[in-house]
Structures are given as C-alpha cells and as structure tokens.
C-alpha cells in the first residue's frame, strides 16, 4: 500500500493540524527547521477544508491526533512520555491519550467477545460492565466469570483497528521519506527504521495472544521479585482479539492522595518502581515498556501491580552489558570508559577521537551531578547525550528506543511519587550488581561455558563444515583466476583492435 497515493493522507494530516491549531505547537515542540516547516504548511494550509475538526474541548495537539485515528493516537502516546523531546507543555497535553479516549459501545464489545470465544457471553460471564478504560487500540471491561465468580478484566480490540492502523502507518513511511529529504540533519535519526520499529511494536498489540504470552513470560521472570505482582492470564477466555486477566485491586499509582490515604510510603514506592525496571531490563532483558501511571496500581499490601503488556521491550545480553557499562561509567563519572564503550560497541564511528568524545561526555555528566537530587534527570542526561553523539556521528540505535523511552517514563513515575528522589543513588546498586555478575570473572567463565556447549553440540560437524568452507574458497579462487585469465587476452584483443582501427583511419 506504500506509494504516492499516501500523499493524500499526509495532506489530510497537515490540514487537520492546521484546522485544529496544532501545527505550530507540533513544529515548535520539535524545533523543526525552515524547509520542513515549509513542506508542512504546503501540505496543510491550502487544504484546511480537508482536515478533521476534532473535539474543540481538547487541547490542539490531542484534538488533532484523536481526530486522525489510532496510529496517530499511539504516536501521541509515545510522545507523551518524552517531555525531554517535545517539551513539558505538549507532553502534558498528550497524556490524556493514554487511557481516556472515547470508548466504543458495550454491545460492540459483547459481539466481539462472542465472535472470538465462540459462545454466548451469558455462558461465560455473570457480569460485564461498561468500558472502564479506552485507549487507541483496545478498551477494558470489568467482568465476573460465571463458573467460579472470579473478577476479571476483559480487554477487547477496537472493531476494524487492524485495517485503520495499516493505512496510517503507510502514510508514516511516506512522511519519514519526506523528513529525510527536507531535513538532511534528521537522517542520522533513521526515520524509516524508527517507523519500522514502531510498526512492529504496535503489530504486537494487534494480536492479544502475543500480549497474553508476554504477560505469562514476564510473570515467570518476575515471580520472585519482592513487592511486585501481575494479574494472571485466563487462557481459556483469551484469543486474538480478546484477553482476559485477573482483576487488579488497588490504588492508582498516579493518585498520591489515594496512596497517602491508604498509608503507603510513596518514597519507597518510587525507589521500587525504578529498581524493578532496571532489574527487568538488565537481569532479564525483557521489560514492561509502557510503565506509565495508567498501567500500574498499588495493592492494599503495598505490592506494585503492573498490567497492559502490549508493549514489551527485549534487549539481547550483549546490548544489556553495553547499556550497563554506560550507566555505570556515568555513575562513577568515568567518562573515558563511557567513551570507550561507545567505540567498542560501534555506536560511534571509529575515525572519531575517543579522548575528545570523553571530554564531551564529561560536559554532559558533570553539570547533572552538580545539581540537587530533585533536579537530576535521566531525561536531561539522554537529551544532552543525544546532542553530543550527534556531533560525533552516532546514529539512532533502534534497538534502544524502547529502553531509553521507558527509562524516561519510569523516572517520571518515580518523581511523581517522590519529587526529591535521587535517580543515581537508586540505580547504583542495581547496576553494580549486574556488572559484578555479567561483566566480571564469573561472566567470563559463563561465556566460555556457553561457547564450549555450542562447540560440543556442533563438534561432530565441524570437520565437514571446515572442509566445505575450504572447497568453496578454493572454488572462488579458481573462478577469480579463470576470470583474470579471460580478461587479460580480451583486454589485449580490445587494445589491438583499437590500434588497428586507429592505424587504418590514419592510412586512409
């Protein structure tokens, strides 16, 4: 579906941004360069009549994205977690997109449940509420199972969401190409790869069987984490478009008054949210990548309950080690080591000067460590780091997008619970413990054991593999020799022919 016809969708996007008054807000938030502003207005201003009006009671950016459709809403949700990128004002406007969108009707949800589960709703549930939360892709209902009286949460995809999402993402690809052409400085951000990554993430949300699987794996990984729990998946009543989970009772983690009334220690909760995320990311390499206030509660016993597993992050062991070393280097203020890690991982081109890069990193870290604890911000660090790495030619690492974004979100949650939390003090023991177990002598021994295990598995096949590789290499050498043997006389014949032709023309 990608192609020039998507220009109509982009024109409608620009027209909607202009009509709702969101165009200036968005362009200013991204500090868009003049060429990109010109293209944006060219695609929007003359065609305002094509734009959607949206809900006039909403702020401009929220009004525009809500009117444009599900993929735009999801993009807005992502941006709402990045005040370091779009600014506090726009991020605040976009937070309403997290779980306060207009729902579809209960009757449509019941019809969807019956269609997916293959039996009447009355045979499954004794109670089924109106929607209690609605987001861009799905909404949630509170229900009670008929067979055992258990309270559950039933998540149902919006009707027609898959087709609507595909149409919007096609337009995003065209927009990414336009950004690459009109703003060469943005090419290092690899906008096409970012959209591909975004598409993959949301495609996972469009199949609730994958979300159920992610919830199950996450529960297995975190089973022994103190003060943390997940609602269990009810596999019998879950399918591609319907997901049933145990009901989570507790106070919303974003409601400080309710937490105080229930007697919870908000400082301890803030520290636990941050340390849990770092443990999941570094220890397991599998983490909840949408840990905003709308996706967590605090149980009466003080446990943090997480839900909504549509966006989960995964990072391989090598990348986890790189990320941990970078964090650890900043914590120890060892900027030379942070610079070396960037070079060793190939994040910064090898032709750059490592000492100069280290000095630039010091300019990033030292002002932050000189701040009061209430002002130390991972978001600010990432923002400064982004500016420095741009100067040194570092490209966007798409595999780290979710990790970096979630780090900023979790920091925001922790600060909402305790504005004076010291991010580095909380992070230090978690990162140090990971460094000891994953980068020290024990890690070397573990890596050697894994290598030996792979060699043992493929040992009987190694001689044949080496022999085939040598035969292939010999064959390639023979082909190259034959090619050279053919090229030499052919070239000689060509030269001789040209000489004869030249001589003939001179004699004539």
> Which pairing describes strands 304-306 and 296-298: parallel, antiparallel, or unpaired?
antiparallel
Which of the listed residues 139, 174, 202 is the one where a domain comes to its end? 202
3-state class of 214 per DSSP?
helix
Residues 217 and 268 grouped into a single domain = no
Q: Is 475 a domain residue?
A: no
Three-state secondary structure readout of 37-96? HHHHHHHHHHHHHHCCCCCCCCCHHHHHHHHHCHHHHHHHHHHHCCHHHHCHHHHHHHHH
Query: How confident is the model at residue 41, as a pLDDT?
Result: 72
Are 231 and 358 found together in one domain?
no
Counted domains in the chain: 3
CA Rg, the chain, in Å?
28
pLDDT in the model for residue 380? 64
Q: Using one digit for the tens of pLDDT, what is the confidence trace for 427-460? A: 888 888 888 787 766 666 666 776 777 667 666 7
The rounded Cα 234 to chain-centroid distance in angstroms is: 27
Single out the residue in 390, 422, 439 at which a domain terminates.
439
Res 299: pLDDT: 95
Mean pLDDT, rounded, of the chain: 79
Q: Are strands 304-306 and 228-229 parallel, antiparallel or unpaired?
A: parallel
Is residue 179 in some structural domain?
yes
DSSP-assigned letters across all residues of 366-406 = HHHHTS-GGG--HHHHHHHHHHHHHHTTPPP-GGGHHHHHH
**Has residue 318 been placed in a domain?**
yes
Q: Domain with 113 in it: what CATH number?
A: 3.30.200.20
Domain encompassing residue 178: 4-98+163-202
60-68 and 70-80 helices, crossing angle to 10°: 140
Residue 61 near residue 80, CB atoms below 8 Å? no
The answer to whether position 480 is within a domain reads no
Domain limit, last residue, from 439, 465, 488: 439
Together in a domain, 243 and 378: no
pLDDT of residue 492: 41
Is residue 454 a part of any domain in this protein?
no
The answer to whether residues 190 and 136 belong to one domain is no
Angle between helices 354-369 and 335-344 (to 10 degrees): 130
Question: For residue 67, is it within any domain?
Answer: yes
Which single residue is written with the structure tokens 């000489």?
499
Enter the pTM of the model. Answer: 0.72
Which residues of the chain are modeled with pLDDT < 70? 1-5, 29-32, 36, 43-44, 78-88, 95-96, 98-100, 182-190, 194, 369-384, 386, 395-401, 440-447, 450, 454-455, 457-459, 462, 473-508
| Residues 241 and 256 placed together within one structural domain of the fold | no
Q: Do residues 300 and 363 both lie within one domain?
A: yes
Q: Is residue 14 part of a domain?
A: yes
Are 109 and 185 contained in the same domain? no
Judged by DSSP in three states, 290 sits in coil
Q: Is there a single domain that holds both residue 243 and residue 253?
A: no
Residue 351 and residue 269 share a domain: yes
Residues with a known catalytic role: 290
Q: Are residues 236 and 190 in the same domain?
A: no
Q: Are residues 46 and 108 in the same domain?
A: no
Question: Domain for residue 263, yes or no?
Answer: yes
What per-residue confidence (pLDDT) applies to 99? 58
Q: Where are the alpha helices (DSSP H) in 128-206?
A: 161-182, 191-205
Q: Is there a single domain that holds both residue 318 and residue 413?
A: yes
- Burial class (CB within 10 angstroms; exposed 0-12, middle 13-18, buried 19+) of 146: middle
């Amino acid at each position: 579906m990608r192609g020039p016809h998507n220009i109509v969708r982009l024109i409608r996007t620009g027209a909607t941004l202009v009509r709702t008054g969101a165009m200036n807000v968005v362009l200013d938030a991204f500090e868009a360069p003049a060429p990109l502003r010109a293209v944006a207005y060219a695609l929007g201003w003359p065609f305002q009549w094509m734009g959607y009006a949206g809900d006039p009671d909403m702020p401009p950016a929220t009004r525009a994205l809500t009117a444009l459709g599900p993929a735009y809403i999801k993009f807005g949700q992502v941006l709402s977690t990045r005040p370091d990128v779009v600014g506090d004002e726009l991020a605040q406007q976009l937070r309403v997109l997290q779980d306060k969108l207009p729902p579809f009707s209960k009757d449509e949800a019941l019809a969807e449940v019956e269609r997916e589960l293959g039996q009447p709703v009355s045979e499954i549930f004794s109670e089924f509420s109106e929607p209690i939360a609605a987001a861009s892709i799905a909404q949630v209902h509170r229900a009670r199972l008929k067979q055992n009286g258990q309270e559950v949460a039933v998540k149902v995809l919006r009707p027609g969401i898959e087709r609507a999402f595909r149409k919007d993402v096609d337009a995003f690809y065209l927009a990414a190409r336009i950004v690459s052409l009109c703003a060469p400085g943005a090419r290092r951000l690899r906008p096409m790869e970012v959209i591909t990554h975004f598409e993959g993430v949301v495609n996972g949300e469009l199949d609730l069987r994958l979300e159920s699987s992610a919830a199950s794996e996450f529960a297995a990984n975190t089973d022994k984490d103190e003060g943390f729990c997940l609602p269990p998946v009810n596999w019998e009543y879950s399918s591609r478009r319907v997901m049933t989970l145990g009901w989570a009772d507790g106070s919303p983690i974003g409601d400080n008054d309710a937490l105080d009334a229930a007697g919870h220690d908000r400082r301890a909760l803030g520290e636990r949210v941050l340390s849990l995320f770092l443990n999941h990311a570094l220890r397991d390499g599998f983490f909840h990548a949408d840990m905003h206030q709308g996706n967590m509660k605090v149980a009466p016993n003080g446990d943090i309950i997480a839900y909504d597993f549509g966006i989960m992050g995964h990072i391989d062991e090598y990348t986890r080690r790189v990320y941990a070393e970078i964090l650890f280097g900043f914590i120890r203020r060892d900027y030379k080591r942070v610079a070396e890690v960037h070079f060793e991982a190939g994040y910064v081109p090898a032709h750059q000067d490592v000492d100069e890069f280290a000095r630039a990193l010091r300019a990033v870290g030292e002002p932050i460590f000189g701040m009061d604890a209430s002002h130390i911000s991972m978001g600010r660090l990432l923002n400064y780091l982004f500016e420095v790495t741009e100067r040194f030619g570092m490209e966007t690492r798409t595999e780290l997008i979710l990790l970096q974004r979630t780090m900023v979100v979790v920091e925001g949650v922790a600060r909402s619970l305790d504005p004076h939390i010291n991010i580095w003090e909380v992070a230090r023991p978690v990162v140090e413990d990971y460094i000891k177990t994953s980068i020290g002598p024990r890690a070397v021994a573990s890596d050697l054991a894994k290598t030996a295990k792979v060699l043992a598995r493929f040992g009987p096949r190694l001689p044949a593999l080496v022999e085939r590789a040598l035969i292939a290499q010999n064959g390639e050498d023979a082909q190259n020799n034959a090619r050279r043997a053919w090229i030499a006389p052919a070239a000689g014949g060509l030269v001789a022919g040209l000489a004869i032709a030249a001589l003939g023309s001179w004699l004539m």
